Structure 1
Amino acid sequence: MSVLDPLSHALAGVVATAHSAVTALGADPDGAGTWLLSIAGVVVLVRLALLPLVVRGVRQAHAGARARPHLQRLSEEYREKIANRDPDTMRTFLEERRRLGEEHGVSRLGCLPTLVQIPVWMALYHLLARVAGGTAVGALTPALVASFGAATVLGVPLAAHGYAGGGTHLAVVAGLAGTAALVSLVTQRHLVAPNTVTDGMPEAMVSAQRLAPLLSAGGMLMAGGVAPVALLAYWVMSGLWTCGQAAVIWRWFPTPGSPAAQRR
């Protein structure tokens, strides 16, 4: 039994419930559109549940931006003192940093929304991989698994994976993986990066942030060779949600001091 099994069973319940709801509206139970809408239900439910954490993350980014000038002045003040690595001086410096952070409301859990999504991604991958292999999971009964296995997009099963195959197979898999990668690249480079304050960051960290969108997009293209078509579709839908969410933050809630805030 995997530690992700409880989460996988919960996600299976969401997919099965969404499938029943869409079918009740007259959709074909075995149709790819029905199953894709069911997977979209997971995207909507998970992302709505994470909205409070997203709001918290935006507030933390703003708090960090307000605290940054004070932290930089503190670092300048202690630069020569901490060079000697005196324990008492280091302790005082760290206590001052902590005090400034608390004063401006900075938390160490600013990346919590991303961290919370990781087990969801992993659980959904394991769920769809098992269902694609014909294994029933929780509310996804053998009958539903058989229905999922029969669903196709342009003749390509949602359970299929990998780039190897005919022209249509390659077009569907590469198209979904490429779309997910492109959406991720656009979101990170044109919406997230301009809303990030890099002043005072080490050059290595700035370079890493510039490279991260390319690595993320490249990783999705590589993962397209092993992920089921249904999971690639989930990545596209989740990426579009992320893009829209980042656009709202970029437009109306930019981080103070960032290029996005300066354009206003």
Structure 2
Amino acid sequence: MCLVLIIRICLLPLFFSQMRATQRMQVLQPQIQRIQRKYAARKDPRSKEAMQREIMALQQRHNANPLGSCLLSLIQAPILCSLFYTLQSLPASAAGNAEPLSGIDRVMAGDIESSSIFGVRIADSFGTVVSPQSHVVIGVAVALMCLMLFAMQWLLIHRNTPKDAMDSPQFRTQKLTAFVFPAIYVVSGGTLPFGVLLYWLTNNLWNFGQTLCQLRWFPAPGSEAGERKAERDHERENRRRAASGLPSLEEERAAAAREEAHVRREREKSVASRNRRQRKNVQLAKR
């Protein structure tokens, strides 16, 4: 669990970079969809290549990387795999049936394997424990993992999706993933060592917190979270203006509208006066 905290704190700069990249991709989605509709009726390879070139050129012009949102998962994957392999190899190393893992000798492997949390050894899985209490602890850990993942995906899908994209086939596919991945967790959670479950659970809790931060500070434009952020920014700006003795945004817009109406009326009066003079000059010329 501390390993997760250390890794995710080190990855915070990458997280903020990922959020900015995701926002840029979300802003470009309407333009990408227009390009895709442009080539929707063309099925030949040349048209598909032209569509991909236009989309890539658009992304390059706006410095948007579609793979930017995958970096955090890609960086953590080797760590998770290494932890899984280490915890799985501990019983054999402690029993002397396998070679020591790097600096973990037989004695250290035994000490690590015998350490437990809530009565469950970190190298044990759901299939290797025998006590009902251990089964309950592992089951609760898997349930919390699934709950955090489902809640995170539900928030991203329903709160951070632009409203004009909710009728697209991609949105319906995203809604299915909110149920598919927790189901995969249930199946895989029974075979993973308890230490890996703790790592995964802590990681999901961190991801859930990051999702709440994303919805508050980096929402997608046009989404429900984006509208709420716009309202908060509006209220914050009005409070700042009130503290500085400045007019509110509404008062400023009203004053700008009055000024624009005044300028328009003056322009209309000037045009009407010019037209009257022209008609008068025409009448005098006729006489």
Q: Normalized against structure 2, the TM-score is what?
A: 0.68
Q: Does 1:141 align with 2:99?
A: no
Q: Which residue of 1 aligns with 2:122?
A: 158
Measure, in 1, the Cα distance between the counterparts of 2:134 and 2:43: 63
Q: Which residue of 2 aligns with 1:169?
A: 134
Q: Which residue of 2 aligns with 1:44?
A: 5
Aligned positions of 1:35-114 closer than 5 A: 40-80=1-41, 83=42, 85=44, 87=46, 89-110=47-68, 111-114=70-73
The 8 Å contact of residues 183 and 239 in structure 1, kept in 2 or not, is answered as yes
Query: Residues 181-200 of structure 1, C-alpha deviation per residue, up to 9 Å, x if partnerless?
Result: 11111122124652244745
- Per the TM alignment, residue 46 of structure 1 is displaced from its structure 2 partner at its CA by 2.0
Q: Give the alignment's Cα RMSD to 1 decimal.
A: 2.6
The 8 Å contact of residues 165 and 171 in structure 2, kept in 1 or not, is answered as no
SS class of match (2:11): helix
Measure, in 2, the Cα distance between the counterparts of 1:93 and 1:85: 11
Q: Which residue of 2 aligns with 1:5?
A: none
Query: Residues 196-250 of structure 1, C-alpha deviation per residue, up to 9 Å, x if partnerless?
Result: 4474588443222112122221222222211111111111111111111111111
Q: Which residue of 2 aligns with 1:232?
A: 197
Query: Residues 69-90 of structure 1, C-alpha deviation per residue, up to 9 Å, x if partnerless?
Result: 222333344445xx26373x55
Measure, in 2, the Cα distance between the counterparts of 1:191 and 1:201: 12
Q: Which residue of 1 aligns with 2:82?
A: 123
Q: Does 1:187 align with 2:187?
A: no
Instruction: Note the residue ranges of structure 1 that are not aligned, 5 or more in a row.
Output: 1-39
CA 1:212/1:77 → structure 2, altered by over 3 Å: closer, same or farther? closer
Measure, in 2, the Cα distance between the counterparts of 1:84 and 1:214: 33
Q: Which residue of 1 aligns with 2:208?
A: 243
The 8 Å contact of residues 180 and 235 in structure 1, kept in 2 or not, is answered as yes
SS class of match (2:192): coil
Q: Percent identity?
A: 25
Give the aligned residue type for 1:216: F
Measure, in 2, the Cα distance between the counterparts of 1:73 and 1:224: 42
Give the aligned residue type for 1:170: H
Higher Rg of the two aligned structures: 2
Give the aligned residue type for 1:175: V
Corresponding pairs, count: 222
Q: Which residue of 2 aligns with 1:220?
A: 185
Measure, in 1, the Cα distance between the counterparts of 2:45 and 2:142: 52
Instruction: Note the residue ranges of structure 2 that are not aligned, 5 or more in a row.
Output: 95-99, 230-287
- Per the TM alignment, residue 65 of structure 1 is displaced from its structure 2 partner at its CA by 1.9
Question: RCO higher in 1 or 2 (8 Å CA, sep ≥ 6)?
Answer: 1
- Per the TM alignment, residue 66 of structure 1 is displaced from its structure 2 partner at its CA by 1.9
Q: Higher mean Cα deviation, 187-196 or 143-152?
A: 187-196
CA 1:92/1:170 → structure 2, altered by over 3 Å: closer, same or farther? closer
CA 1:210/1:113 → structure 2, altered by over 3 Å: closer, same or farther? same
